[in-house]
Structures are given as C-alpha cells and as structure tokens.
C-alpha cells in the first residue's frame, strides 16, 4: 500500500494541514478543534520551542525578543534583502554566509527552523486525528518563490521529519481544490487572487486538462502553466487593521493622534479590536469596536460597513494595480475563472473590485482560508497513487433544491441531469408582510429537509411589505461544467436579489451518494405521506388565519347561521391541526383534508361579504417559502 501524502499550506500568517481520502479533501483539525494554526513561534530562554500558534501570536507583545512571526517572508533570503518585520517580534540579523536569521534572546534561529516548528505542530495535530504520523507532504509556496526559497521550504520540512514530496504553487493548489483541470474540459485561463494577512499575490494560470479518454487524473502539475504573477509582500489584512486603528484613533483623539504615541498595550488591543470588527462587518452592517486603554478601562466606538469600505478603498486599489500588471504581462487574455483565496477576500468590497476588473464572477464556494491546503491534499492523493474518489462526474449526482414552508423540499434540478445545466422556479411567501426570505439550498432525494444534506443558506432582504403569496420570487440554479452550483434569487416586484455559490460534491464520496440515493427509495412512501401531511398542515393554518381574520372583520354583517357554522368548522380544524403538529402520526391525512374542505365550504359567504375589504399588510417575521404558487 502506498503511504498517505498530506497537504500543507505553510502561510505567512496561518498554516493548515489537509488530507484527501474517500470523503474528498478536508482540513485536519487539532484535538481542540482548531483548523488553522497561527504561524507564530515563541522560544524559551534556552532556545527551545515554547509555544506555537495563537498563544505565541497573542503573547508576542509580552515576549518580543523570543517570538518569531511571519518567518516565511525571510525563507531562503539573504539578510541584505531586508524586509520589515512586524513590530513586537524578534528582529532579523545577518547569519552565516549572509543569510537572514532571527535573533532569539542571545541565540539565532533560521527561518527554516521556525517553519519546521510550525510544520511539526501541524503533523502532531494530524497524528492525533489519523492515529499515525504522516511522513510525506505536499507543501505550498507562492508562485513567485525562487529556487532558494523553495529549497529552504524543503529543508524546513526535513527538519520537521517530513519528506516534502512536492513543492506546489499556491495558486495551482487553489485551482486543484476547485476541481479545475477535469479530464475532457477545455483549456481555461484562471486568475487566482490571494489576499491574506500580510501578503497579496495575483497569479494567472493556463490550465490544459487531459483528454477525456486519457485515464490520467486531474492534478498533474504539468497541466498548469503560470502565465504571470505579481503582488506585494507587504500588503494584507494586517494593513487594513492598522488603517482602521488610525481612523478610530483620530475619531477619539483628534486629527494629530498617531498610533505610535499609544502604549504598546493600547496599540495592540486597538489593532486586535479592529481586526475583530473588520471580520464582523462581513456578516453584519455595523458593529462596535471595543479596546482597552489601560487595565480596567475600555473605550468603544461604532463602526459601520460603508465606513470600513471607504477606508479599505485605497488598500484594495493597491491590489488592483498589481492585478493590472500581471494581466498585462500575461498578454491580457480573457479570464475564464477568478478564484478568491486568503481570509481578506471575505470582504465584499474586495470580491466586487476583483470581479469588476477581471470581468468575471469570482468563485467563492470554498473557504478562502482553506482552499490552498485542500488543493495541496488533492495533489497529495494523486501523488500517493490513490485514485481520487472525488466525484468527477458529468452529471448532478443528487437532486438539488430548496426548503419550502413546513420543512418540505422542492427539487429544482433532478439527479442525473448532465452538467452544465440550469433551472428556474417561482416561489412566493406564506406570511403577510415578510420583509426577508430565507433560502435554504439542499441536496438529496428525500422529501423532507430533515433527511437531506444542507448545502447553503442565504437571505433576500429589504422586500417591501406585501400580503402572503404576492411576492414573486424567482430562484435560479446554475451548475457549471466543474459541478459548481450558483443559486440566485430575485424578488421580481421589488428587484431585490441575492446569491450564493456552493460545490455540491464537496466532501461527498461515491458511497455516500449511493446511500443517500437508496435511502430515498426505501423511504419513498413514508416520505410522500409526511410531505402530504406537512402541506396539509401548512395550508390549513393559512385557511384558519385568512378565514378567521375575514370573519372577525365582517362578523357584524353575517347571518347567524354562517357565523355558527364557520365557528364550528374552525374549531374542528384547529383541533386537528394542533394534534397533527404535536404528533403527525396521530392524525389521519384524509380526516384533516375533510376538515379543511368543510371550513372552506362554510366560509363561502364570508368571502362574499369581505370581498371588497382590502388586505392590509402587516409586518411579520421572515417565514419559509410557499410552495403553493410554485410553478413548474
């Protein structure tokens, strides 16, 4: 049996380890559940590694002479190449043969030794989960790394007891994670935009997949040609944190205030708070930045997304300058795909700017922090000779759909549809005045949400209040040639739209597809029955509400016979619905159906009387989609 080859993203700020098995590529988390390791190392007084990771990073201010951060910037470099170090960490000095080394206390440590400490920690984490110590790894480096820098990376691996079977370019790894280069696909030009914590890299790749009849697997590096690279080794999310900190400081202390005048404690606390706020603003519109100015004293200021975006604008523009240069160097080819890599690409403004420049929708389905490590693991699986049990299929292996009200599933694309493909469905709301609609994208053959795989959730917000059933929600599913699913929703009356991307086959093995599929056959009858019950309950609830409201509005104008029969039918149906909601098996679906019809018949007069009364919209909570007005 060939030995497992893991994938390692040895990053400037953060490092990760991943493996590709029958589930596909996935990150190996540490025992405590941490998926990402801060690339920071602290040494003790005798020069032994004392701490690696977040603890070392957060403690850097307290132990500046014993902590090394961002060692990658110095990998394989001469001291004369001087690059700035982040403040609060061990300085770089000249070592043997002019090489750059870190002064740690009264000793020196080479960048390779520091990187080895990070690698050893990752491998120890993996050992805990796998039950054995992985000995061979694919390690990623920036595309622009020269031979010396690549050699230093190999040396670091050997110091950590790992055989570096391949040094892989980070943008190539990202492309592999996205399944680019599937046999039989056409040649594509890909832009990989990688904005991390301290560095920015843009790489243009040309990918020539093997012919379809070739049994060769995607992942052979020969398929990937680097057309051009550009970037800035001192441009990343950390700089945005500092820009934010400067801005906030000016707000509280006037336009002349400078970060450098703060105590180290306050400065570090403020910058850390800015990073937290920056990240929060990709999920919410506003936040409060809280930092400690001295023991026990906290200062806080509100920050909203537009402000963050205006502060970020010149910072983003610097990345675009490099993008234009790389694009020109490559001969300005049309870009088929734009892959977003690095934590800082979670900022919407960054995605929009890159998309506008390259004139293509960015791929964002995979976690931008994890995509490089995942791709390295894919390469590792190919090199270990293990067949890639990823689903390189030409069809949608499991149906794709959305959740409708009451937990039922409306399938939009049926299984075994060949890709690329797309489909559109219309939906509406089930609650009056719904101002937002939650769209839950699911995968599987079963009829109920509880029994299918959840792929993504997103919200369509800002819908003006309308009565239930009036909004026209168009939901479009597009699956591209690589199996990537894009779901977009537009409410046609208001024009509000939202979208999400997912890779439905991600982390799904052929065996799982098989079992999800056969479960649907086994449970088909039962599923249909439960689906019918859910629909009945939902529709009965709607009837009860509409008829109840209409009756109370016009009660004075109704004859006694009508009010009595409506009240009786209402009571009977309410009881049944309540029972069915409590325990669906305790109620016979036909009985519920009959009770609902009875109420409908009894209320004919009510409708006649109230027909002129206009429906008043009212504010209501977001509910599910209504499948009542679903058209096919």
25 in contact with Mg ion (CB under 5 A):
no
Please report, as residue ranges, which positions from 65 to 84 form the binding site for Mg ion (by CB under 5 A): none
Binding partner selected for residue 444 from Mg ion, ligand ADP, none, CB under the kind-specific 5 to 8 Å limit: none
Q: Is the dihedral of CA 125, 129, 134, 139 positive or negative?
A: negative
Q: How far is the CB of 49 from ligand ADP (least distance, A)?
A: 20
The one of ligand ADP, Mg ion, none whose footprint includes residue 42, by CB under 5 to 8 A per kind, is none
CB closer to ligand ADP, 240 vs 487: 240
Residues 6+ positions from 525 with CB-CB distance below 8 Å: none
Residues 44/399, Cβ–Cβ less than 8 Å: no
Stretch that binds Mg ion, among 9-17, 223-231, 381-389, 504-512 (CB under 5 A): 9-17
What's the CA gap between 396 and 27, in Å, rounded? 25
Look up 600 and say whether it is catalytic. Answer: no
Among 9-17, 18-26, 359-367, 516-524, the segment contacting ligand ADP (CB under 6 A): 9-17
- Contacts (Cβ under 8 Å, ≥6 apart) of 147: none
Among residues 228, 269, 344, 443, the one that binds ligand ADP under rule CB under 6 A: 344
Answer yes or no whether residue 38 interacts with ligand ADP by CB under 6 A. Answer: no
Q: Contacting ligand ADP (CB under 6 A), which of 73, 278, 337, 411?
A: 278
| Choice between 203 and 562, CB closer to ligand ADP | 203
Rg, Å, the chain Cα set:
29
Please give the Cα distance from 507 to 503 (Å, whole number): 9
Asked if 346 is part of the footprint of ligand ADP (rule: CB under 6 A), the reply reads yes
- Binding residue (CB under 6 A) for ligand ADP from 7, 8, 13, 75: 13
Q: Do the Cβ atoms of 394 and 181 come closer than 8 Å?
A: no
Strand order in the sheet with 92-94: 92-94, 100-104, 107-109
Query: What whole-number distance in Å separates Cα of residue 174 and Cα of residue 193?
Result: 10
Q: Could you say whether residue 198 binds ligand ADP (CB under 6 A)?
A: yes
The Cα–Cα gap between 275 and 14 comes to 15
Cβ contacts of 622 within 8 Å, gap of 6 or more = 431, 434, 435, 436, 437, 438, 459
> Alpha-carbon dihedral of residues 73, 180, 415, 531, nearest 10 degrees?
20
Residue in 113, 125, 155, 170 annotated catalytic = 170
Binding test (CB under 6 A) with ligand ADP, winner from 237, 401, 444, 471: 237
Of the residues 50, 125, 155, 194, only one is catalytic, namely 194
Residue 342 in contact with ligand ADP, rule: CB under 6 A: yes
11 touches ligand ADP by CB under 6 A: yes
Which of the residues 256 through 275 are near ligand ADP (CB under 6 A)? 275
How far is Cα 447 from Cα 377, in angstroms, rounded to an integer?
35
Inter-residue contact 315 to 349 (CB < 8 Å) = no
- Could you tell me which stretch among 58-66, 192-200, 220-228, 597-605 binds Mg ion (CB under 5 A)? 192-200
596 catalytic, yes or no?
A: no
- Give me the catalytic one of 72, 278, 386, 596: 72
Tell me the helix, strand and coil percentages in the chain, rounded to 5: 40, 30, 35
Q: How far is the CB of 295 from ligand ADP (least distance, A)?
A: 26
Candidates 7-15, 130-138, 229-237, 527-535: pick the segment binding Mg ion (CB under 5 A).
7-15
- Which partner, Mg ion, ligand ADP, none, binds residue 87 by CB below 5 to 8 Å per kind? none
Least distance in angstroms from the C-beta of 199 to ligand ADP: 6
How would you label 326-343 residue by residue, b for 16+ Cβ within 10 Å and e otherwise? bbeebeeeebbbbbbbbb
Strands 136-141 and 163-169: parallel
In the numeric block, the tokens 């000779």 are attached to 385
Sign of the four-CA dihedral 386, 389, 390, 395:
positive
Q: How far is the CB of 77 from ligand ADP (least distance, A)?
A: 17
Q: Does 343 bind ligand ADP (CB under 6 A)?
A: yes
Neighbouring C-beta atoms of residue 62, cutoff 10 Å: 13
Q: Does 201 bind ligand ADP (CB under 6 A)?
A: no
CA 391 – CA 509 distance, rounded (Å): 7
Under DSSP, is residue 184 helix (H, G, I), strand (E, B) or coil? Answer: coil
Report in angstroms how near the CB of residue 198 gets to ligand ADP at its nearest: 5
Are 465 and 618 within 8 A, CB to CB?
Answer: yes
- Quote the least distance from Cβ 485 to ligand ADP, whole Å: 22
Decide: is 196 part of the binding site for Mg ion (CB under 5 A).
yes
Pair type for strands 362-363 and 337-341: parallel
Task: In whole angstroms, give the CA distance from residue 14 to residue 274.
Answer: 18
* Chain residues 282-301 in contact with ligand ADP, contact rule CB under 6 A: 282
Beta carbon of residue 240, minimum distance to ligand ADP (angstroms, whole number): 7
CA distance 185 to 189: 12
Contact range with ligand ADP by CB under 6 A, out of 25-33, 76-84, 190-198, 208-216? 190-198
Of the candidate spans 10-18, 180-188, 353-361, 427-435, the one that interacts with Mg ion by CB under 5 A turns out to be 10-18
Other CB atoms within 10 Å distance of the CB of residue 612: 7
172: partner contacted, choices Mg ion, ligand ADP, none (Cβ within 5-8 A by kind): none
11 vs 444, which CB is nearer to Mg ion?
A: 11
375 near ligand ADP (CB under 6 A): no
Binding residue for Mg ion (CB under 5 A) from 6, 8, 11, 134? 11
- Annotated catalytic, 72? yes
Q: Which does 486 bind (CB under 5 to 8 A by kind): ligand ADP, Mg ion, none?
A: none
Look at the block and give the residue holding tokens 């994208």.
441
- Interface with ligand ADP (CB under 6 A), residue from 279, 335, 438, 589: 279
Asked if 204 contacts 227 with a C-beta cutoff of 8 angstroms, the reply is yes
Whether 171 and 198 have beta carbons less than 8 Å apart is answered as no
CB 594 to ligand ADP: min, Å? 53
Q: Which stretch binds ligand ADP (CB under 6 A): 12-20, 83-91, 210-218, 294-302?
A: 12-20
Q: Is 9 a catalytic residue?
A: yes
Q: How far apart are CA 86 and CA 242, in angstroms?
A: 12
Smallest gap from Cβ 16 to ligand ADP, in A, equals 8
171 binds Mg ion (CB under 5 A): no
**Token pair 């794709």 in the structure block, residue:** 400
Residues lying near ligand ADP in the complex (CB under 6 A) are found at: 11-14, 196-199, 236-238, 275, 278-279, 282, 342-344, 346-347, 369
Contact residues for Mg ion, defined by CB under 5 A: 11, 196
| Residues noted as catalytic | 9, 72, 170, 194
């Amino acid at each position: 049996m060939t030995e497992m080859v893991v994938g390692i993203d040895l990053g400037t700020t953060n490092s990760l380890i991943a493996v590709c098995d029958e589930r596909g590529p996935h990150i190996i988390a540490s025992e405590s559940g941490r998926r990402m390791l801060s690339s920071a190392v602290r040494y003790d007084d005798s020069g032994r590694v004392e701490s690696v990771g977040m603890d070392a990073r957060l403690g850097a201010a307290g132990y500046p002479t014993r902590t090394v951060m961002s060692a990658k910037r110095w990998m394989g470099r001469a001291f004369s190449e001087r690059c700035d170090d982040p403040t609060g960490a061990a300085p770089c000095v000249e070592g043997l043969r002019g090489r750059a080394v870190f002064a740690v206390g009264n000793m020196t440590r080479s960048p390779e030794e520091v990187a080895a400490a990070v690698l050893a920690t990752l491998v120890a984490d993996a050992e805990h989960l796998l039950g054995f110590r992985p000995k061979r790894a694919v390690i990623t480096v920036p595309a622009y790394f020269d031979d010396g820098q690549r050699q230093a990376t190999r040396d670091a691996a050997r110091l950590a007891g790992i055989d570096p079977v391949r040094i892989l370019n980070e943008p190539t790894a990202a492309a592999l994670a996205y399944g680019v280069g599937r046999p039989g696909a056409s040649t594509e030009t890909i832009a990989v935009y990688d904005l991390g914590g301290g560095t920015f890299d843009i790489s243009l790749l040309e990918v020539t997949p093997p012919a379809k009849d070739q049994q060769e697997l995607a992942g052979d590096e020969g398929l990937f040609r680097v057309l051009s690279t550009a970037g800035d080794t001192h441009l990343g999310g950390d700089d945005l944190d500092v820009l934010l900190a400067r801005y906030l400081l000016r707000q509280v202390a006037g336009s002349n205030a400078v970060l450098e005048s703060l105590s180290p404690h306050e400065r570090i606390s403020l910058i850390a708070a800015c990073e937290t706020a920056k990240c929060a603003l990709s999920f919410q519109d506003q936040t409060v930045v809280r930092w400690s100015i001295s023991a026990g004293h906290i200062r806080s200021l509100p920050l909203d997304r537009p402000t963050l975006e205006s502060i970020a604008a010149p910072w983003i523009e610097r990345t675009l300058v490099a993008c234009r240069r790389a694009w020109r160097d490559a001969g300005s080819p049309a870009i088929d795909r734009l892959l977003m890599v690095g934590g800082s690409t979670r900022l919407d403004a960054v995605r929009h700017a890159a998309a506008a420049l390259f004139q293509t929708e960015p791929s964002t389905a995979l976690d931008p922090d994890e995509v490089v490590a995942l791709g390295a693991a894919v390469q590792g699986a190919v090199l270990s000779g293990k067949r890639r049990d990823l689903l390189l299929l030409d069809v949608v292996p499991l149906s794709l759909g959305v959740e409708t009200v009451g937990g039922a599933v409306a399938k939009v694309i049926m299984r075994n549809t060949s890709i690329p493909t797309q489909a559109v469905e219309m939906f509406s709301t089930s609650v009056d005045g719904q101002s937002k609609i939650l769209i839950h994208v699911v995968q599987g053959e079963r009829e109920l949400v509880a029994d299918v795989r959840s792929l993504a959730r997103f919200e369509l917000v800002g819908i003006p209040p309308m009565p239930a059933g009036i909004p026209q929600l168009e939901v479009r599913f597009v699956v591209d040639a690589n199996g990537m699913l894009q779901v977009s929703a537009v409410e046609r009356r208001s024009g509000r739209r939202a979208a999400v991307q997912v890779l439905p086959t991600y982390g799904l093995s052929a065996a799982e597809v098989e079992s999800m599929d056969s479960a649907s056959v086994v449970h088909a009858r039962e599923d249909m029955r439960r689906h019918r019950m859910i629909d009945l309950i939902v529709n009965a609830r709607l009837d009860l509400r509409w008829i109840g409201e209409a009756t109370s509005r016009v009660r004075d104008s109704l004859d006694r016979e009508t009010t009595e029969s409506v009240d009786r039918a209402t009571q009977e149906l309410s009881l049944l619905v309540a029972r069915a909601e409590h325990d669906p098996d305790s109620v016979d679906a036909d009985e519920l159906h009959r009770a609902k019809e009875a109420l409908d018949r009894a209320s004919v007069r009510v409708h006649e009387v109230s027909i002129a009364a206009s429906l008043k919209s009212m504010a209501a909570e977001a509910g599910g989609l209504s499948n009542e007005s679903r058209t096919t």
